[in-house]
Amino acid sequence: MRAAAAIAGLFALFAVPFWVIPAYDAEAAGFWQHIFVTIFVFAAMACAWNILGGFAGQLSLGQTIFYGIGGYAAALMNQHFGLIPWIGMFAGAAVSVVVAVLIAWPCLRLRGPFFTLSTIAFLEVIRLLAIHFKDWTGGSAGLPVPMFVGTELRIGWSWMLFREKENYLVIAFGLLVLALIASWLVRRSRLGFSLVAVREREDAARAVGINTTAVKLSAFAISAGLTSLVGSFHGIYLNFIDPETMFSLPTAIQVAMFALIGGLGTVSGPIWGTLLVVPIAEAARGWLGAGANGLHGLVYGVVLVAVVLTMPHGLVGSIGPWLRRRFGAARAVDPTRIAAPVTGDAIARPPIGPVILEAQGLTRRFGGLIATNDVSLTLREGEVLGVIGPNGAGKTTLFNLLSGFLPPSAGTLRVMMPDGSWVTPSAPHAFAAAGVARTFQIVQPFAGLSVLENVMLGAFHQTRSATEARRIAEEVATRCGLGALLLAEARSLTVGGAKRLEVARALAMGPRILLLDEVMAGLNPADVTAAVELVKAVRDSGVAVIAIEHVMAAIMAISDRIIVINSGRMIAEGTPDEIARNPAVIEAYLGEDYVHVAA
């Protein structure tokens, strides 16, 4: 139903300038058709930018680099080699993808405003290079699009030059549809989920096995290629190309603003943002003439301020959820999904297997502070290893070492693969590939996504199919007691629900080793009991577990072995009974005055 409505809306958007306006007012048709060509061009660029800036959350203001490369590629290949613009269009897109990767590789190591400033710097460098190589580009004076071979006028579809604006409308609309379809496909793919995860919480994205650099590079490349295609067409349409127009910072800002007004990270938001702003600004300039010079900037500013103050999530991001609540059909909840988490009695516990993780002499220094000092441990298949110690003992630092979030200053760590070989991962996504999943001490859900989408991000580690990932996510969420909350936003969950969600997201990865960082802290007794049963069920499925916990009754109930960390050092190791009576452990927790209670 929604797909049919979207197709109908696109058809109506094209029909207005192509048929309706010429039939209603033939004299004004050319003016309005020009406005709609501009709308389609900017909407396509906004959709392309939204893949990087909306889905991935990377605020690039250098996207007109690729718009300009596309424009110059089509014109220069036409001028110097006599090639039709269609060839130059795709050649420019290929060059833009290469340039995007070269620019993104250093820039993506920067965060926040520093990344944005670096993209502006690259835009200025490219603009100056276009001015400098004037023998090819015409320099600051620019160059006209070649329209003649001798005295013969190059006109028609081959040369992308027409007397009637209807043909330009067809091409511009086709580029918009292409950008929209690409955006839709990306958002619903594994890549799209990964990009949104990076935007929401990059550390949590790394924990579910996402190579954050690779997915951001992919978004940069796709966005650049689409933007370049649009730039090639628009340069031919304008009939003149110069560095100030093709590598324009104000144009880059406008494109980002259209996506922001329409709704960042939504598929159709950039189109609605463009439809709202461009007609007002262009009509004002057309009606008022020279007296409206610069008025479009004022229009952009007023609309932006109004939307940000009244609809901070943009038009689609704010109105869309309201429409779904008001007119959308409610999804029935399957009563079988409201059950509590699966208990440990569901399957018999298999025997503990061979060692699958081995750490020797792990040490982590932060300047003069030694957070973890010469810690060695082993973990066996199907075993639960508890890690306890006072606050500040270095337990979470140890977890960060065991999951690749921190490199050790000294020591070695290796993980056994299913085929029996041993590997030494060096990054979170490599640990995930080796079968290691983790939760965080401070829960890190992808707050803007639903419970189902959160768990799907873990499931994508096992499959590239969105359908299969959804099936896995629903099954795991039900096991963790979240079946009735699949459509709820993660930010709406209670503390206990958020902790179960993190466990579900980790389990959906299909791990062989699960690191649980204080998943029972802050829970009420009923939730603690449910969490204990869930850990036992995970253990009984053959997954090895390392659990940091301060709830002593719980850690004693689930652990086969316990190690105790104090001041970065491992001070004790043994069974729960042995640890409970160990004088060094009692002293670490209660002080030396209580050592006598060990008896």
Q: What gap in Å lies between CA 416 and CA 356, rounded to an integer? A: 5
Residue 332 has what pLDDT?
A: 42
Are 504 and 482 in contact by the 8 Å Cβ rule? The answer is: yes
Residue 336 has what pLDDT?
A: 42
pLDDT in tens, 1-40: 566 777 888 888 888 888 888 888 777 788 889 999 999 9
Residue 304 has what pLDDT?
A: 82
Q: Where are the domains of the chain?
A: 2-248, 375-446+508-598
Mean pLDDT value of segment 259-282: 90
pLDDT exceeds 70 at position 594? no
pTM: 0.89
Residue 436 has what pLDDT?
A: 97
pLDDT in tens, 303-357: 888 888 888 888 888 887 777 666 654 444 443 443 445 444 456 788 899 999 9
pLDDT in tens, 467-498: 999 999 999 999 998 999 999 999 999 888 99
Residue 30 has what pLDDT?
A: 85
Buried b / exposed e across 438-450, counting CB within 10 Å, b at 16+? bbbeebbbbebbb
Q: Would you call 208 exposed, middle or buried from its count of C-beta atoms within 10 A (0-12, 13-18, 19+)?
A: buried
Name the 3-class secondary structure at 46. helix
Banded pLDDT at 406 (limits 50, 70, 90): very high
pLDDT exceeds 60 at position 290? no
pLDDT in tens, 67-87: 999 999 999 998 888 888 999
Residues linked to residue 149 through DSSP beta bridges, in sequence order: 152
Structurally, at CATH architecture level, domain 375-446+508-598 sits in 3-Layer(aba) Sandwich (3.40)
Radius of gyration of the chain (CA): 29
> What percentage of the chain exceeds 90 in pLDDT?
64
Q: What number of residues does the chain have?
A: 599
Question: What are 430's two structure tokens?
Answer: 């490599």
Residue 593 has what pLDDT?
A: 52
pLDDT exceeds 90 at position 446? yes
Beta pairing, strands 544-548 & 384-388: parallel
Question: What are 491's two structure tokens?
Answer: 């930010």
Domain 2-248 is found in CATH 1.10.3470: yes
Residue 324 has what pLDDT?
A: 66
Question: What are 379's two structure tokens?
Answer: 């973990």
Banded pLDDT at 286 (limits 50, 70, 90): low
| DSSP-assigned letter for residue 160 | T
Q: What gap in Å lies between CA 563 and CA 550, rounded to an integer? A: 13
Mean pLDDT value of segment 174-203: 95
Which three-class secondary structure string do you get for 229-296? HHHHHHHHHHCEECHHHHCCHHHHHHHHHHHHHHCCCCCCHHHHHHHHHHHHHHHHHHHHHHHHCCHH
Banded pLDDT at 251 (limits 50, 70, 90): very high
